Amino acid sequence: MHYSHMDSPIGRLLLAGDEAGLTLIGFPAGSRARRAEPDWEQRDPPFDAVKRQLEAYFDGRLTVFELDLAPRGTAFQRAVWQALRKIPYGETTTYGALARRIGRPSASRAVGAANGANPLPIVIPCHRVIGSTGKLTGFGGGLPTKAALLKLEGALPATDDLAEAN
């Protein structure tokens, strides 16, 4: 596995992948904070396209990523992650709506768990999933990061609960 780091407006991101594509974007803080594993090799050139696209995203110039992705997960998780990629930039959805979208209407909790296990946040936009009440709910990079990403996209829900995320 190869890895690199990238400074971003939400902190220093860990990027990891192999010949198949990008496998991980790790946040510097939050419940899903990640560090490079001891057997990984630091190599920057394989991540040039990822960095360019993430920079364009953070600058507001890119709304759809075109990268080779190789997330690792179960068939159910991969189905959820594929559905996440179909949530348009600047829009949000709920766990229940996402469960219905993948044909599993009673699986909103399982969808939430798969969403939380997403190894490629931002690129696979799990930040676009909010609670059924419009409240921002758990995010591996922390709720302030989720709010920042939604604000960047112009999708921050209008609710008093946002004060809790800041």
The answer, yes or no, to whether residue 164 has pLDDT greater than 50, is: no
Residues 86 and 143 in one domain: yes
Residues 16 and 53 in one domain: yes
HSE-up of residue 134 (Cα within 13 Å, Cβ side): 9
Residues 45 and 82 in one domain: no
Residues 114 and 152 in one domain: yes
CATH of the domain at 47: 3.30.160
Condensed to tens digits (0 to 9), the pLDDT of residues 104-116 reads 999 999 999 999 9
Of 126, 148, 156, 165, which is the active-site residue? 126
Domain span at 13: 2-58
3-state SS assignment for residue 33: strand
Does 63 map to a domain? no
Residue 53's pLDDT is: 98
Q: Reply yes or no on whether 126 is catalytic.
A: yes
Runs of H (alpha helix) within 59-138: 75-84, 95-101, 108-116
Into how many domains does the chain fold?
A: 2
